[in-house]
A = this chain, B = another copy of it.
């Protein structure tokens, strides 16, 4: 039975004019006898759940008192500021109750991802109906008192946000910035063979680039190894103020698009609840049958690609809300996107209609005299952890298994003397990650945007292949139906899949070119905020850290151009809560190993590790690397000539990053050779957070220790991997800040060689020596000759480069002088 008359549904402008300035409440509906898989009792009770969840959603948006309408609705019952988006809620609640049906019938292990923005009232309502809300938040009991608290806290100061968030039971997906719901769903499904993820995607969200690309993520789902995702495209046709693209193409074109993405779509459409319930039940049965067939087929023939089912759910925006408000069509239009009756507190007519709207759900049939859901509703709730609101998969920290990590020391490189040999640091790390991959065959994955081998982690491919479910050509190499490396040329997909994998309690690494990690700045922000907020939710458990390995970094862009130079992700990261973020700049292979071992053991952080893939000198042996990384910052006595810590040096050469460390040591060697009386101290920083004050970051050095390392008044020439001001930002509260002279990357756009690159940025050894001469009091006069030599050496190096297209051999073949010399 349709709920509005045909005349009302014919919403031409004329027709809206005809209703004048009226505000029309929704009419209660009677469920018609529509044939389908649901018998009358099931249909009735599922519809009752849907009505209950919709009632509870409207209550959250509007009411701060009088939750069960036991008294007539008065202005003071209504919140002063009305927030939350109703438009998407009925669709979310519909999917939830239908998911519960198949969970119960088939014993599914399932979780729910709510993609549409600000749809929080829906999952909140369902979690409360399932009892989970009350189990996790004692004061929000499953009765009238708790219902009042549920309503009052929603989008209210000190309460919960309007979208799904860490506070939402059963959610592992933040409903803030849009675009990542499918990626989180697929990430959760990886290595979870018995899991089903019901993922609702808003048709607004579907316009975003990341979502448009992520439909292809199904091509990385191995039916034998992974769970299944049921994408449900919620085609309610409108965004805030516009129709959606996918709702304004012919249905046949939409189906073609979904088939082109590799899915087998089913459409459920309508505005008659009985019809939609029957069709949705039928669609859900079809999807799960098809998934079972896919799984069975994969057992028989792992090479046959799966065409996964998905549902297009075309129902009215704000379904069941007032059809007309102030003479304008609302239900089924963009005006239902947010709050359909915006003046409910101040406008009597709106308030009256709000009450009729709430009563149209017939709450008296849904909640008993104590406000508890009636038995008919409780019968629909799956048992215990089968409730989507209580599934531990969505609180992944509870499921984490520690990684089995081989001793990184066994993979370290041997050091005869500092700088005597070169290694590709990431290649060395790759040998360890290979065995991490081997030893953790079901809870560790590596993600890369076609850059695994480019970033020199190809040793991992000795024990596994790249995950690939599409066709395989004889010329392809290292593709594997169960590969444990996921490579796709989309940083968004790498990040989103890894987030979904981590949030459901597994471990992973994302390796990326440094410059292009900015592509996921916004995703990083949202994930860091999730970690931050979830740490304050008592029932959430820490999840494994999000580990970045950024290579092909700013200093080695000889292969590429200006667009590949950007070390600014560090600045983005450091804007987030200090408790959550860590940045490491290991200077060589062994320190990279030690750092990464630490990262893979950590929880609930974002670890950013920047390391080069080109051959660079090894400075520290395994034991020294372990000790240095444990401290995070330290004096390299062997590199300076100021062995007595008690004696203040004349100058501190500080460095953070592999290339800056190399240049600093080369500068130190020149200074030791040419100015042997100058007391030089070399300080290397691995853990950038050590520079922050102790009260700003858990890793921050106390001022006394900082002053001991960096002195209180001697010039510090700081060679830094990133934009120079980051060091100032980290150290501006330190005693010696006015003597911090930082050399780092500044935007210069030209094609060049490695050494020319550092010369362009005044980060080269010669310029660092010039800096020392300029900054150490009295030295400019004493060392004028050396300074001029440095100027000349730079010009000579530059000229060589321009002629030969390579670095001058005195630089490219330079080695740290044997300590015996």
Q: Which residues of B contact A563 (CB under 8 A)?
A: 161, 163, 165, 174, 176-177, 525-526, 529
Q: Is A547's beta carbon under 8 Å from chain B?
A: no
Shortest C-beta distance, A563 to chain B (Å), equals: 3
| Contact code string A79-91 (vs B, CB < 8 Å = 1, else 0) | 1110100000000
Q: Which residues of B contact A572 (CB under 8 A)?
A: 518, 521, 568, 571-572
Interface centre among A240, A479, A575 (most CB of B within 10 A): A575
Q: Is A559's beta carbon under 8 Å from chain B?
A: yes
Q: For the complex, give the distance between the alpha carbons of A753 and B470 in Å.
A: 50
Q: Which residues of B contact A779 (CB under 8 A)?
A: none
Q: For the complex, give the distance between the alpha carbons of A239 and B488 in Å.
A: 9
Interface centre among A329, A450, A801 (most CB of B within 10 A): A450
| Contact code string A245-262 (vs B, CB < 8 Å = 1, else 0) | 100111001111111111
Q: Which residues of B contact A12 (CB under 8 A)?
A: 474
Q: For the complex, give the distance between the alpha carbons of A213 and B162 in Å.
A: 27
Shortest C-beta distance, A772 to chain B (Å), equals: 20
| Contact code string A178-221 (vs B, CB < 8 Å = 1, else 0) | 11000000000000000000000000110111111111100100
Q: A209-B214, A568-B525 are in contact. Are A11 and B160 (CB under 8 A)?
A: no
Q: Is A820's beta carbon under 8 Å from chain B?
A: no
Shortest C-beta distance, A783 to chain B (Å), equals: 26
Task: Across the interface, name the chain B residue whose C-beta is closest to A528.
Answer: B747
Contact between A560 and B177 (Cβ–Cβ < 8 Å)?
no
Task: Across the interface, name the chain B residue whose C-beta is closest to A800.
Answer: B157
Q: Which residues of B contact A446 (CB under 8 A)?
A: none
Q: Which residues of B contact A751 (CB under 8 A)?
A: 155-162
Q: Is A791's beta carbon under 8 Å from chain B?
A: no
Q: Which residues of B contact A205 (CB under 8 A)?
A: 489
Q: For the complex, give the distance between the alpha carbons of A174 and B560 in Å.
A: 12
Task: Across the interface, name the chain B residue whose C-beta is closest to A726.
Answer: B729
Q: For the complex, give the distance between the alpha carbons of A219 and B219 in Å.
A: 27
| Contact code string A477-517 (vs B, CB < 8 Å = 1, else 0) | 10100000001111111000000000000000000000110
Q: Is A29's beta carbon under 8 Å from chain B?
A: no
Q: For the complex, give the distance between the alpha carbons of A205 and B450 in Å.
A: 11
Q: Is A18's beta carbon under 8 Å from chain B?
A: no
Task: Across the interface, name the chain B residue whose C-beta is closest to A12.
Answer: B474
Q: Is A714's beta carbon under 8 Å from chain B?
A: no
Q: Is A452's beta carbon under 8 Å from chain B?
A: yes
Q: Which residues of B contact A522 (CB under 8 A)?
A: 516, 518-519, 521
Q: For the complex, give the distance between the alpha carbons of A204 and B532 in Å.
A: 35
Q: Which residues of B contact A806 (CB under 8 A)?
A: 80-81
Partner of A81, one of B178, B568, B747, B805: B805
Contact between B519 and A452 (Cβ–Cβ < 8 Å)?
no
Contact between A471 and B521 (Cβ–Cβ < 8 Å)?
no
Interface centre among A239, A490, A728 (most CB of B within 10 A): A490
Task: Across the interface, name the chain B residue whose C-beta is closest to A205.
Answer: B489
Contact between B157 and A801 (Cβ–Cβ < 8 Å)?
yes
Contact between B802 and A158 (Cβ–Cβ < 8 Å)?
yes
| Contact code string A432-451 (vs B, CB < 8 Å = 1, else 0) | 00000000000000000011
Q: Is A660's beta carbon under 8 Å from chain B?
A: no
Shortest C-beta distance, A796 to chain B (Å), equals: 14
Q: For the complex, give the distance between the alpha carbons of A259 and B254 in Å.
A: 10
Q: Is A777's beta carbon under 8 Å from chain B?
A: no
Q: Is A564's beta carbon under 8 Å from chain B?
A: yes
Q: Is A370's beta carbon under 8 Å from chain B?
A: no
Q: Is A695's beta carbon under 8 Å from chain B?
A: no
Contact between A209 and B204 (Cβ–Cβ < 8 Å)?
no
Q: For the complex, give the distance between the alpha carbons of A57 and B569 in Å.
A: 34
Contact between B259 and A253 (Cβ–Cβ < 8 Å)?
yes
Q: Is A816's beta carbon under 8 Å from chain B?
A: no
Q: Which residues of B contact A732 (CB under 8 A)?
A: 725, 728, 732, 737
Q: Which residues of B contact A566 (CB under 8 A)?
A: 525, 575
Shortest C-beta distance, A165 to chain B (Å), equals: 6
Q: Which residues of B contact A729 (CB under 8 A)?
A: 725, 728-729
Shortest C-beta distance, A439 to chain B (Å), equals: 24
Q: Which residues of B contact A476 (CB under 8 A)?
A: 242-243, 334
Q: A177-B563, A522-B516, A536-B749 are in contact. Are A216 and B208 (CB under 8 A)?
A: no
Partner of A450, one of B156, B213, B240, B802: B240
Q: 24 A-B pairs, CB-CB below 8 angstroms?
A: A64-B805, A80-B804, A80-B806, A157-B801, A163-B560, A176-B563, A179-B519, A207-B490, A207-B493, A208-B213, A208-B490, A209-B213, A211-B213, A241-B453, A243-B476, A249-B471, A334-B475, A518-B521, A518-B522, A529-B749, A532-B749, A572-B572, A576-B747, A577-B747
7 more contacts with CB within 8 A, not counting A241-B453, A521-B522, are: A157-B750, A157-B802, A207-B493, A242-B476, A245-B470, A519-B521, A732-B737
Shortest 7 CB-CB distances between A and B: which pairs? A176-B563, A257-B260, A161-B561, A209-B213, A212-B213, A209-B209, A248-B470
